[in-house]
A and B are shown apart, each in its own frame.
Chain A
Amino acid sequence: MERTIERMRNIGISAHIDSGKTTLTERILYYCKKIHRIHEVKGKDGGGATMDYMDLERERGITITSATTNVSWKDYSINIIDTPGHVDFTIEVERSLRVLDGAILVLCSVGGVQSQTLTVDKQLKRYKVPALAFINKLDRIGANPYKVKDQINDKLGRRAALVQIPIGLEDRFQGVVDLIKMKAVYFDGANGEIVREEEIPPELEDEAWQYREELLDAVSLFSDELTEAILEDRVTEEILLQAIRKGTISREFMPIFLGSAYRNKGVQPLLDGVVNFLPNPAEVENIALDLDDQEKQIVLRPDPQGSCVAYAFKLEDGPYGQLTYIRIYQGRINRGDELFNSRSKQKFKVGRVVRMHADHMEDIEGAIAGDIIALFGVDCASGDTICAPGLNYAMTSIYVPEPVISLAIEAVDKISADRLARALNRFTKEDPTFRVYIDPESKQTIIQGMGELHLDVYIERMKREYKVEVTTGRPQVAYREAITTRADFDYTHKKQTGGAGQYGRVIGYLEPFEGNYEFVNEVKGGHIPREFIPSCDKGFQACLKKGQLIGSPVIGVRVVLTDGQYHPVDSSDIAFQMAAQGAFKQAYKKAKPQILEPIMRVVVETPSEFSGNVFGSLNQRRGIIVSSVEDGTYSRIEAEVPLSEMFGYSTVLRSMTQGKAEFTMEFLKYGRVPANIAEQLMEEYRKKVEQDNKN
């Protein structure tokens, strides 16, 4: 089959954990004849689902790493990027979303829109990804796709309509009525592989016409042709398909499909939906920045004849070395081509080019714009842009949040220590939100990330993939220090004991500032020579790395330098740096510094009967309850809680609510630490410094 860009789709499957995403992926692979046997998730038959290929993921029944796999459906080539559902791994999701052209948003017909669905939906919106919804698990007790449809409209703020209605629900779920063709669809055969179309059962006819009306109403906005056809009562399948497609691609509309992947129902029509309604790579605008031209925005052309621009979105350690997943945006990549990495400025030659399937890879000659492939033996980090030599483009940098939690780790023995270094090197390349540094004082290795679970997963991976045994310290929150008022300084640095002397005097003030740091030079009359101004700036910045209260970074400072003095012989770069540092220390205490801690926006979804306990648990954790939205039997409680109080919350929440509640959290802002806790932190810091001095 020849691959043309019109017949290509790059899609992701985004979902709330446990909504059956992995099962759905498994069924898609099966119907596209990529696998020969259906496995169930959580390894009931020892096989485990095909996309969840990491041991850890198998064990936990969740998907962490985005594997990509290529399938064919009715002459279309579909790359499926499996995206993780858990919020702690959002960087993985975000990086995957960057390379998608469309997505399937999977929802559970019982649970409906839950807090993680909101997170995932927000991500789809941020990356402007057109999406279809698939309401899964219609065979479950309590399934109510109509309620979920309303939630998609209300809670997600989408304009969405059903393109199918169910034939029976719960244990009587048999199939769906296609509201476009106005036919009943059943799924026969041992694994639902035979799709049988019939007339609509008479008892469902009224309902079908009613929901078709709703669908027409929702999409007529996108097609004048459809509006006319409705008036003249001659709506054809083709006109309706085009209108839905237009609405979906413009992200103004979301068609809703129904089914039960586990019962092998509704998956094939969903695949038809993917090719019918989601865009091909040429229908999505992609922008690169020209690094040679002040980062001017360049719209990429999905033309196989153009110069190559591609994006490395995922690295993986395979049995044959490093595998780099690449999305090609412009031009083509063939074996033997010479390409250029615009971050490392290195040229390299393309060795093996492979297309990834869930369980095996296929060697190919090359691929064209729009496609997703993998390269072997390329040295790069994820997020790098690869171009044809002569171009120096970077794909728009993806948004990378600052880590909020850190943990000291130590290998138990020498062998582990070497392996640990390799593991850390790999993880930092894979995941920009995972960071590593050595604490200069304690000489400890510190890892940083987005949450407790995020770091837990990496520690597990160290054990499993790298056979590293580590001991870990207590998780530490990333505190900050900030000043609250203006304070003046006037400091002279003078040293004249033999050899060249040092002299520098700086006068000015510190004041609170909205951003992180600003340096303002108001020195007049050359009282500080121009060449020493950057030295002062550098001196001040050196002080920001470590505040005097608890040794945390200082944020929110504007330094205004108003005056100073120099010595024609003894003044130097270093002298002014020292003067600035002295001045900062002098003024800092006077500027009433305070300790700040990360405050998280926590959203708990719980059956209403437990809301009292949840309120109490948040209150106990110094949380401020912002709101509580009650919708029938469920409550969605939003609160602002200091991160330092959230350790172990998932366990507490689970036991408090019989495992029925769940929560998500994300960084909101830095907030002031209450006086008693600040006192405690400062005491700990004093002790630590004393200890370090003794050693």
Chain B
Amino acid sequence: MVRKTLSSRSPIKTLEKNITGGVGPGKLGVFASRKGVGKTACLVQIALDRLLEEKPVIHVSYASRVDYIISWYEEIFKNLSTRENLKSAMEVHDRIIRHRVIMNFRQEGMPAAQVLKSLEALLGPGNFPARTIIVDGFNFYLPCREDLELFKKFAVEHQLEIWLSCSLKGEDPLFDENGVPFILKDYLKIIDIIITLEHFQGKVKLHLVKDHQQLPGKKLRLQLDPQTLLLARD
């Protein structure tokens, strides 16, 4: 019960309400910002939201070490449970992370085909019924159209939602007049949702810059607390 309540109160639900048709199965979502603004925090909160509803999650990471990812989850969960005044927090944490598998691919530029093969192994013979895939550290600066198409196809075939992070680099400007990162412009047909993060007066604001067919450039009335890295309503 605690878990359900915690999840329904979550700002992630606000986020979903703001997106036409939700995020849902078969969809690809991307959080984009420069390094260190809070993409991983957002991804982990989406994962935790699903985990609190007892929906299994696979967290795919390219660079970070497993223990580093685990500590992300612990940290965010700790802050979340403090904010929501959750009792026996660690017990809940230990219970929900049973539904999470971390897959780490250490080799740089591991082709998506191989990553998906491993995911397939875990979903199929591994019998792990994941509904959400989190992909952190995917490099959009390498040629990646094919890889993204494969991810999208995989999402549709397996009825999964896939969330990626996109680390922006280089000199300003990084965004076009609609707020869409230049690096993602080529992939607008493949990606369903793009949310950008921006530092603004000591806060991190979230903008919805691609919502399925539209480019709404909408302020999401959501921000990231730079202290706790938790999402909150404005």
Residues of A within 8 A of B (CB): 154, 608, 611-613, 615-616, 618-620, 624-632, 635, 638
Contact = CB atoms under 8 A, between A and B. Distances in A.
Interface in B53-82: 66
Given A627-B101, A630-B118, A635-B118, A616 B106 contact: no
A532 to B, nearest CB: 37
Contact of B126 (A616, A627, A631, A632): A616
A626 B110 contact: no
B92 interface: no
24 contacts: A154-B106, A611-B121, A612-B126, A613-B125, A615-B121, A615-B122, A615-B125, A615-B126, A619-B126, A624-B98, A625-B101, A625-B122, A626-B101, A627-B66, A627-B103, A628-B101, A628-B104, A629-B104, A629-B105, A629-B106, A630-B104, A630-B105, A630-B106, A631-B107
Contacts of B103: 627-630
Contact of A625 (B106, B107, B120, B126): B126
Nearest to A625: B101
B116 interface: no
Contacts of B110: 630
B146 to A, nearest CB: 20
Q: Give 10 closest A-B pairs by Cβ, nearest first.
A: A615-B126, A612-B121, A612-B125, A627-B102, A616-B125, A629-B104, A627-B66, A631-B106, A619-B127, A628-B103
A631 B110 CA distance: 9
Contacts of A624: 98
Interface of B: 66, 98, 101-107, 110, 114, 117-118, 120-122, 124-128
Given A608-B118, A615-B126, A625-B128, 18 more contacts: A611-B118, A611-B126, A612-B124, A613-B125, A615-B125, A616-B127, A625-B101, A626-B66, A626-B102, A627-B66, A628-B103, A628-B118, A629-B104, A630-B104, A630-B110, A630-B118, A631-B107, A638-B66
Nearest to A620: B127
Contacts of B98: 624
A417 to B, nearest CB: 47
B111 to A, nearest CB: 12
A608 to B, nearest CB: 7
Nearest to B107: A632
A544 to B, nearest CB: 24
A154 B108 CA distance: 14
B118 A629 contact: no
Contacts of A619: 126-128
A547 to B, nearest CB: 22
Nearest to A615: B126
Contacts of A630: 103-107, 110, 114, 118
B127 to A, nearest CB: 5
Given A619-B128, A627-B66, A630-B110, A612 B122 contact: yes
A184 B118 CA distance: 44
A635 B105 CA distance: 9
A385 to B, nearest CB: 37
Contact of B122 (A154, A628, A629, A631): A628
Contacts of B114: 608, 630
Chain B CB within 10 Å, residue with most, of A620, A625, A638: A625
Contacts of A625: 101, 122, 126, 128
A588 to B, nearest CB: 22
Contacts of B125: 612-613, 615-616
Contacts of A616: 125-127
A434 B102 CA distance: 36
Contacts of A154: 106
Given A608-B118, A635-B118, A629 B124 contact: no
A300 B104 CA distance: 46
